[in-house]
Chain A
Amino acid sequence: MSKQKPMNPLEMVAYILARQIHDHEVVYIGTGLPMVAAILAKKTHAPNITLVYESGAQDPMPGGMPWSVGGPFTWRKSPMILEMAYSFGQCANGYVDRGFLGFAQIDRYGNINTHLIGGGYHDYKHRLTGSGGNNDLSSLCERMVLVGIQSPDKFVKKLDFTTSVGHLEGGDSRKKAGLVGQGPVAVVSNAAVYDFEPATKMMRIKSLHPGISKELCQMASGFEFLVPDGEIPQTEMPSPEVLDMLRNEVDPRGVFTKMPGM
């Protein structure tokens, strides 16, 4: 065995997120870990995906990790670059298979908050970025995959602000509200991968990461997860080769996968 540094949680999450990408799909990429995952997927199991970014950039030829979703790596020799309104229009009109987004808070129905934390709209503790394209992707993409770090104050019973709607109040409430697409189909955290139970649309543990028990996973959440019947499988981990690729070719500067202070 090589003397490989142990995997950090961000690298693990980036890999698991990459596994959610299917070859030949058109995928809409938010900033951060989704960019890492998409580029890793393109270099491994999904070489034929087409990447779309909200600045209007899309279909770049392979290159390095963008510093921004408007950066040249997102439109490197693109045949065509769009305007923002047309880019989101592609989602609404069914040309985008899967969108990838981060969040600051998530609830059991996959609704997302990126606006503010703590207190009310005027007496918040922290104001965050706001929606950006988060609401539009959640509202318009066919399937959403959501990624974030798991803790009881991030996986919450009630969001401090609903920036983006996933399955709203569960059941068919998303569709009734007028939103298109299937909504969130997966959530990836540093503890587990989740899907949504088809009838209630509540978040359900799909696989647990190595070393994480069902109980531990549940303790790191402010709401209760559904669990599948039978034994919960373990999440597949990257091979040493893929981890090397992630470190050396995908995000060599550790822009998104370096742990703070490491």
Chain B
Amino acid sequence: MKFSYNEQALKNLKIDDPSILDPLVDAASAREAHLKKDHARRDKRMSLKEAVGEFVKDGDILSDTGFSYVRTPEQAFFEIVRQGKKDLQIIGSPNSNQTYFIAKGVCRYSHCSYAGVEMRGTDRALSRFVKEGRTRILSEWSHGSMALGFKAAQLGVAGLFSRSLLGSDIVTHNPFVKVMQNPIAGDGQPVVFVPALYPDVAIVHVHAADKYGNGRFFGPAVNDIAIAAAARKLIVTAEEIVPEADMRYNNKGVAVPFIYADAVVELPYGGVPGSMPGCYYWSRQWWEKLCRDAMMSEEKIQEFIDYWIITSKDQYEFLDKLGGVKWMIEARRQTKCEEYDNEDDGFDYSYHEWTKANPSDTYY
């Protein structure tokens, strides 16, 4: 065995062949992949179809990015589902988007930290999928411990020593982490070794990118700066493509250097139905309907995904289903008021929350 995993966790998770875990922690192969990339400053623009087709391969470890549905590349994820990729492992903190991948047989393995739509509800579909064996949980995480794994990869260190997880059942359900003694604490002090984590492929959605792949965003960075550095392959999707000079003169918020990027995709509204700071608010009812209705049965989740993902060719068709131009303008106003870039004195923040008793036909 190449890696010496946490034996108790392997047993608890019933993982007989741990080689499936190797790529996530294989720093040498990640380095090799980064070395083999074209390091030249080249125009890397391509369509979403081409980028997903070329850089997301069956069996890859895909990283969820953004924060569940904040600056998350939802439309690129939907393209992965449409292209019918197979056997992906999905990792992320949070990891809220795995359900629609699993439902369509795209994701077979999960490195799980959090699933659900916060107070709108837990992911009932995931609960069934895990039990039915349609996805296997390969490791349990907390957000903070996984964040350290990505950060370690970005820093180029073998791992970091966390003070989270100690004493919990997570540490006995995660093959990658081990409780050790802090080597310089005289009286012994337990810490948790979290290895550097290297996803195969990540998609980071940004406000602006240049054609080489320098990317700029604002709002919560979550883990994206670290993930962009760690991933073996990186697709940058951007609300707009700007001239290189714009990146140099407006370099505040540039979080992705072009050298990481394999593909650059111009993808306005690439975050819908999630939110994009400064650009558009969530379709809250979409998420509420997903977790309060669609996740409740196999028939409903399939119908929901078919309607929203499979039969939407691209984000434009998706936007038409949400409500088109009116939706786009309202979503922009909503986020600008909440961010206080627009005057919100007198702005009505209320909306029709989707509940079973009181369903809604709109998607604000």
Which residues of A are interface residues toward B (Cβ below 8 A)?
Answer: 31-32, 54-57, 61, 63-64, 67-77, 81-85, 88, 92, 115, 121-124, 126-136, 139-140, 161-165, 168, 173-174, 177-180, 252-253, 255-256, 261
CB distance from A34 to the nearest CB of B (A): 10
Cα(A130)–Cα(B148), bound, Å: 18
Given A88-B147, A132-B113, A163-B169, decide whether A64 and B69 contact each other with a Cβ distance below 8 A. no
Contacts of B116 in A (CB 8 A): 128-129
Given A75-B219, A88-B147, decide whether A122 and B14 contact each other with a Cβ distance below 8 A. yes
- Main secondary structure, interface of B, reads loop
Contact check, A130 vs B147: say whether CB atoms are below 8 A apart. Answer: no
Contact check, A136 vs B167: say whether CB atoms are below 8 A apart. Answer: no
Contact check, B163 vs A70: say whether CB atoms are below 8 A apart. Answer: no
1/0 per position for B117-130, CB-CB distance to A under 8 A?
01100111011001
Contact check, B169 vs A161: say whether CB atoms are below 8 A apart. Answer: yes
The B29-85 residues at the A interface (CB cut-off 8 A) are 66-70
Contacts of B170 in A (CB 8 A): 131, 135, 163
Which residues of B are interface residues toward A (Cβ below 8 A)?
Answer: 12, 14, 66-70, 93-95, 112-116, 118-119, 122-124, 126-127, 130-131, 140-145, 147-148, 150-151, 163-170, 173, 189-191, 218-223, 225-226, 275, 277, 281-282, 284, 335, 338-340, 344, 349-351, 353, 357
Contact check, B143 vs A84: say whether CB atoms are below 8 A apart. Answer: yes
Contact check, A121 vs B173: say whether CB atoms are below 8 A apart. Answer: yes
CB contact between A129 and one of B123, B190, B191, B226 (< 8 Å): that residue: B123
CB distance from B351 to the nearest CB of A (A): 8
By beta carbon, the residue of chain A nearest B355 is A260
Contact check, A132 vs B94: say whether CB atoms are below 8 A apart. Answer: yes
Contact check, B169 vs A139: say whether CB atoms are below 8 A apart. Answer: no
CB distance from A182 to the nearest CB of B (A): 14
Contact check, B142 vs A133: say whether CB atoms are below 8 A apart. Answer: yes
CB contact between B220 and one of A57, A177, A253, A255 (< 8 Å): that residue: A57
Given A70-B67, A83-B225, decide whether A162 and B168 contact each other with a Cβ distance below 8 A. yes
Cα(A116)–Cα(B325), bound, Å: 42
Contact check, A55 vs B114: say whether CB atoms are below 8 A apart. Answer: no
Contact check, B340 vs A68: say whether CB atoms are below 8 A apart. Answer: no
Contacts of A140 in B (CB 8 A): 144, 163-164
Contact check, A135 vs B144: say whether CB atoms are below 8 A apart. Answer: yes
Cα(A57)–Cα(B339), bound, Å: 12
Contact check, B67 vs A135: say whether CB atoms are below 8 A apart. Answer: no
Contacts of A163 in B (CB 8 A): 168-170
Contact check, B127 vs A127: say whether CB atoms are below 8 A apart. Answer: yes
Contact check, B119 vs A32: say whether CB atoms are below 8 A apart. Answer: yes
Chain B CB count within 10 A is highest, among A85, A162, A179, for A85
CB contact between B69 and one of A68, A123, A139, A178 (< 8 Å): that residue: A68
